[in-house]
Every structure is written in C-alpha cells, then in structure tokens.
Structure 1
Amino acid sequence: MGSAVPRPGRRGRDDALLPGSGRARARHPAVREGHLPAAPVTDGSGLAGVQRWLSHQAEEVALELVCAEHPGPVRGIPGRTVVRLSGCARELASHELVELLGLGARQVAVRLDGCAEIDDAAAHLAPIVALLRAGLVDRLTIEGVPPRSPLPDGGAGSTPEPVAPGDRGPRRRRAVLEAAAMPVSRRRLLGLGGPAGRELPPPSAEPHDRLVAAVRALVVPTAALAALASPTPHLVASGCTACGVCVQACPTDALSLRHGAGGENLSISTLLHRPAVCNGCALCVDLCPVDVLLVADRWPWSRLLSDDEHPVVTVTTALCARCSTSFPVASGEKLCPVCTYRRRNPFGSTLPPGAVLAPAAEPEPPSADR
C-alpha cells in the first residue's frame, strides 16, 4: 500500500522543521521570498555543502552546528541558522570549520549539549578555538559543555563560557537544515541569477594549506600566537650530508637545498624549511639515510602567518674529483666517500663495519687407522 498523502492546505506538526514551509519562512533568517529551497544539494563530506550554501547568502549568517544525534535542535536561541551535522562534532575538519567564518558566517557556535561523545568533541575543537582567540577572533564558540567536561586549556581566553541555548530561551521551534542536503533557491537551481557566490577554497588543496590560509585571513598577529604551538615540526640536523633525500621525499615541497659559492671547488649548501607549507608528515625524518634529521620542537603559529624559509643546517660541500658528486667536506677531501672506498678497495671486497671474522677451524688430527 502506498504512503498516505497529506490533504492540501494541511500541515503536520513537524512542518516547522522544513525550510520550505510557511512557518519556517517566517522564522528562518536565511529563507526569504525569492530564495525558497526547491531541491537539496547532497554532500556527505563534512561542511562542504554548508560552505557552498553559505557562500551564496546575501547577508551574513549566525550558524549553530549540532551533532546528528542531538535530540532537540529545534529549541534554542532565535535568529540562528541551525545545521544538523552528518556525524559527530568530533569529526569536524578544523580547516572547514574556520573557513565558514570567511564565507559569510557572522558567528559559528558548535553546540555539544546533545553530543554523545562530548568529551572527545570538546577536546577536538578546543585547539582551533584557542588559535582563533589568540589571534583576537572570538566568532567561533563551543556551547553546552557541562562543568564535568571542561575544555582543555589552550591559553588565556581560549575556553568559552559554557551555555545551554535552550534552557531559558523561547519555546518557538526553529527550522533545522541538514549539512548533507543544504537547500538551494529555485532561481539558482534554474540558472536565473542570484547573489554572486563568494569564492570557495579549492577542494583539492591540502587540509593544512587550507587551514593556514583561513587563519591568515582572520587573525591578527599577537604575542599569544607566538606562544601557541602549531602542528608544524621544527627540524634540526647535525651531520647532514646534503644528499637531498629529504627534499625529494617531502610531499608538499616544504624542503629545499640552496647551493652557493664557498671558495675554490667548494660550495655552501643550506637545507631550508618552509613551516607554513609543511604538514608535519615527518617523511623527511623517517627517510633520512644517515638518521640526522630530527624534530626538536613545534613552530609557533606566528611563524605560519608568513612564507619565510628557515635554515635547518648549512654544510660545506665539494665536487668529487672522480664522479663529480657533491659531498660534505671537513678537511679538503677530493673524493666522495664512495670513491674513497673504491680506491682503498679496488676489488670491492671488504667487511662491513663491526664485522668480526670467525676463527679458522683447526684441522682434525689424522686417525690411528691411517
């Protein structure tokens, strides 16, 4: 049997949840005449659909994000656009969350009072809130965190005061949009124009690059940012051979080797690191053939606000007189280590370092029968 079809002119009790209903148009700040949602744009990857929808809004929007399992998002502070996430807030990508503030969100409040993993979600979101607060941006807040689940301390002013938006608020029901199926105006759907959309971040860009770009566009350089550690490692090296393996291994081109004249047949080779581009994968450290590249600390966020290069190590190198390979020198060597070994061992036979020859077996004494 087919499902029951509602009679014309009748609305069910849940119609207030639908952005296209008359009651929702009166209450929802982003649904107006001429921008009636006609069909959803389905997107299951984080906040990408919310970003596209937000970029086409004529006015700035106050967003309230709630987890998929939130029991009552229809109650709360009026004037906010409520968006139900596809999953838990602890799965939100930091770069997508910060990008909302540059795409037309006047305020973004992540509401955790209905979250099933409130401790994990609060711990996941606290660092990005601390980062923005350190840069004098207070437009991202975490709400509904009970006293038993305090946010980790990320610096002065990084922990918003917990609030419960529905405790004493109005009883009117708010429209709830779905992050995986944000509405589209009929005019936009039919290609009839509408407000020009703000430029979206390239989806193919690295999450680290998108986060750095979004933070740069929002924050103000402060002393607090200079004291806040970023995910980018501070690399050091002692005994570097300037072989370039780390440069070739870096997936983001954050490392480079610069060579300069250092005298007769000598060069000065410097390994340079760009903290703003480095995503912290540590492939360079893992693949260093001489195990001298190490992570000493983390760069502060203030270093990621510019594209400056940091010298990791400087090595004096020379060209091998036999194979023309560049190699580090300390006291005027003419041959690289490989050619030096071959000259000392022309037949290519030698024991590896640390190897010890086993004593030769003594011959057995002749038997009495012979």
Structure 2
Amino acid sequence: LLNCAKQLDVQTCEIICGLNPDAAVGSPAAATAVRVRGCLAGLSTDTYLALVGQGITKAIVRLDACADCPWGSLQTQVEAQVQQAQELLASWGRAETITCQHKAADSYRKRPLFNASSPPVSRRELFRWREAEEKPTTEPDRVVNPHPFQKRLRFLQGVRQLALLAAMEADASLSGWNFALADVNDECTACGVCARTCPTGALQLETAVSTYKLTFSPQICIACDICAHVCAPQAITLTHDPTFAQVFDAATEQIVQAGSLQTCSKCHARFAAHSETQLCPICTFRRQNPFGSAMPPGFAASQANLPQTGRKSS
C-alpha cells in the first residue's frame, strides 16, 4: 500500500479492501483509489501514520461493503485502528486526514483504481528495470526475510516524516503504542541479563576494565517487559504511558545505570560494586544457602493460590 501510494504521487486517495464490489467508483474527494488484497483489518495503525507521513492529505477508508462481507465482524478492528491513528495525528492537527466511509454515496463516480500489489510504473523506471534485466550477473538471488519489527520501523519512519511537516504537542501520550520508559535502581548487579534478552536491543550493557554503563533507547523499546521479568534483583521499573517528548525529544540513548565493577573473590565474575562484599550475588546466595535454591520472584505467592491435591486415604 505504501509503495503504491508513493508511486501514485497523489495527495488524496481511497483505501479499499479486496472484496468491495463497488471498487470501480468512489468519492469525488479522492483522486484515486488503492485496493489491498484481503481485509483492511490486515493494515496496522502504523500504516496509516506512514501514509500521512508520505504526504497524503486525505485518505478515505472504505467500509461500505462490510455489512455484506463474510469478514464483516472485523469492521470494528478497522475502525479501532483508524481511531488510534486519528488520536495520534491530532497532536499534529491532522486528525481528519484519515476518515472512514461507512455508506456508499450517490455522488460516487469512476476514478483510477490500482492494486496495492501492482503499483504503476513510470517510463523512466521501466527503462531502469529493462537495463537491470540486461545487465549480466553471477550472484544468486538473495532471499530477503521481512524485518521482525517492521511495524515499529514503519511507525518511527512515519513520525520522523510528520515531524518535518509540523510540530507535535510534546505532552501527547503514547499509551497504547507499545512504548515504555525504563528506570533502573541501585539494586542492579550489572549481570547483563536484561540486555541479552532484550529482543530489540533497547537495553545495552557496556563494560570497561573497572566500570559499566547500562543504556536505554526508548524509541526502539516495544514494552514487552521481558527485561523486568528476568531481572533477579527486580531493579527495573517500566512506565507504559510515556509522552511524545519523553520518547522522541529526549536523547536517543539514555544512561539508566552506571558505576564501578569489582571481581568476585571466589568465581572471579565481575559485578556492580554497590556494597563492601567481595562475593558476587550468586556466590553470596550459595554461601548463605549451601543446600537451598531460590524460587523466581512471585513464585511462592502463585503456588499458594493453587488448589492443594493429595493422595486419597484408603
């Protein structure tokens, strides 16, 4: 959809599902229409945001065929995606850029219609394609896998493009957009487990000979909470409703914890020097509990709520 809209180079368009029987006609307010394969529920909110970032000033999401569609129950999902996009676009004063059309109008007329999978090709691009076909190559075709966080990258690209068009309200909330802020207290042991398990690399642990630094990049955090779950000392606190300024106007990489490192006198592992002990947290626990083991945080409480079962007496 985004590639097709970019190739069309228009400011107004309709977005139509693949099952709409009246796709050939549409609103006079739209210069053209783009038909996607399948249901519009397959489009995510970040797609609408990126569409506006490309320069679209009016996008009409056609829902006039949902009532008679076998996938009609997904209409509410499409409406929710559009509403979420409108709420964020309102911070730029562009809430009305994306709208829904629920009923067909008598003013519908014919206008150009393109399939998103087959965008128009200019003559210049056609010649470039022909030239590339004639150029000999010995390299095998590479299989390009989609990026695992393609939606987040599309969202970030849309925000950057919109920021060039207009200023956004700094206190606009990003609640519901899977952003979070991380705060790390002095209980951090610099073990690096949070950084190793972070799926996007938002947390990074940098170590030198005797110092460490834990950094956090809020723009690429997806609020999965994995870091907080794996942190044994429970040093990480996440805030899931940051403002736009806290994520995009702040430093791209923030230092959330830093300090000195010391070497464990027993296992020689390096850990954060927050106390006078000469043992790392693991060796300290083993010395205090030579025959014991530690349960995950909250495990005992969850087990207490389980029904007690036992062997029936005969």
Cα contact 2:87–2:95 (8 A) shared by 1: no
Q: State yes or no: 1:120 paired with 2:77.
A: yes
Q: Please point out which of 244, 247, 267 is paired with 1:304.
A: 247
Q: State yes or no: 1:350 paired with 2:299.
A: no
Local SS of the residue matching 2:292 = coil
Counterpart position of 2:157? 213
Determine the C-alpha separation between the residues in 1 that align with 2:27 and 2:275: 74
- Superposition pairs of residues 262-277 of structure 1, within 5 angstroms: 267=211, 269-277=212-220
- Superposition pairs of residues 9-48 of structure 1, within 5 angstroms: 47=1
301 and 319 in structure 1: CA distance in 2 versus 1, 3 angstrom threshold: same
Amino acid at match of 1:207: K
Amino acid at match of 2:179: T
1:78 CA drift (Å): 5.1
Local SS of the residue matching 2:180 = strand
Q: State yes or no: 1:244 paired with 2:192.
A: yes
Report the RMSD for the aligned CA atoms in angstroms.
3.5
Amino acid at match of 1:98: L
Unpaired segments of 5 or more residues in structure 1?
Answer: 1-46, 146-163, 194-201, 356-370
1:131 CA drift (Å): 1.0
Counterpart position of 1:37? none
Q: State yes or no: 1:111 paired with 2:57.
A: no
Determine the C-alpha separation between the residues in 2 that align with 1:174 and 1:253: 46
Determine the C-alpha separation between the residues in 2 that align with 1:79 and 1:327: 62
Determine the C-alpha separation between the residues in 2 that align with 1:212 and 1:188: 28
325 and 353 in structure 1: CA distance in 2 versus 1, 3 angstrom threshold: closer
Aligned residues: 268
Determine the C-alpha separation between the residues in 2 that align with 1:98 and 1:132: 8
1:114 CA drift (Å): 2.5
Q: Please point out which of 258, 271, 288 is paired with 2:231.
A: 288
Counterpart position of 1:101? 52
Determine the C-alpha separation between the residues in 2 that align with 1:69 and 1:212: 31
Local SS of the residue matching 2:279 = coil
1:140 CA drift (Å): 2.9
Q: TM-score, normalised by structure 1?
A: 0.60
Local SS of the residue matching 2:179 = strand
- Cα deviation, 1:189-245, whole Å, max 9, x if unaligned, reads 34499xxxxxxxx96473212211211220344436433424112234453222101
Amino acid at match of 1:246: C
168 and 182 in structure 1: CA distance in 2 versus 1, 3 angstrom threshold: same
Amino acid at match of 1:233: A
100 and 227 in structure 1: CA distance in 2 versus 1, 3 angstrom threshold: closer
120 and 94 in structure 1: CA distance in 2 versus 1, 3 angstrom threshold: closer
- Cα deviation, 1:63-97, whole Å, max 9, x if unaligned, reads 11022232423142255211222122222033333
1:56 CA drift (Å): 3.5
Determine the C-alpha separation between the residues in 1 that align with 2:218 and 2:247: 6
1:350 CA drift (Å): 2.9
- Cα deviation, 1:295-327, whole Å, max 9, x if unaligned, reads 343322333324433444456643324444222
Determine the C-alpha separation between the residues in 1 that align with 2:238 and 2:285: 32
Q: Please point out which of 172, 176, 183 is paired with 1:226.
A: 172
Q: Please point out which of 108, 113, 117 is paired with 1:176.
A: 113
Determine the C-alpha separation between the residues in 2 that align with 1:328 and 1:63: 57
Determine the C-alpha separation between the residues in 2 that align with 1:302 and 1:254: 18
Local SS of the residue matching 1:56 = helix
Cα contact 2:12–2:56 (8 A) shared by 1: yes
Determine the C-alpha separation between the residues in 1 that align with 2:91 and 2:111: 33
216 and 172 in structure 1: CA distance in 2 versus 1, 3 angstrom threshold: closer
Local SS of the residue matching 1:127 = helix
Of Structure 1 and Structure 2, the greater helix share is in: 2
Local SS of the residue matching 2:241 = strand
Among all aligned residue pairs of Structure 1 and Structure 2, give the percentage whose two residues are the same amino acid: 26
1:335 CA drift (Å): 2.6
Local SS of the residue matching 1:299 = coil
Q: Please point out which of 233, 243, 253 is paired with 2:201.
A: 253
- Superposition pairs of residues 194-209 of structure 1, within 5 angstroms: 204=147, 206-209=150-153
Local SS of the residue matching 2:90 = helix
1:341 CA drift (Å): 6.3
Cα contact 1:90–1:125 (8 A) shared by 2: no
Cα contact 1:237–1:294 (8 A) shared by 2: yes
Unpaired segments of 5 or more residues in structure 2?
Answer: 67-71, 131-144, 296-314
Counterpart position of 2:222? 279
Of Structure 1 and Structure 2, the greater strand share is in: 1
Local SS of the residue matching 2:214 = strand
Amino acid at match of 1:285: A
Q: TM-score, normalised by structure 2?
A: 0.70
Larger radius of gyration: 1
Counterpart position of 2:20? 70
Determine the C-alpha separation between the residues in 1 that align with 2:43 and 2:241: 23
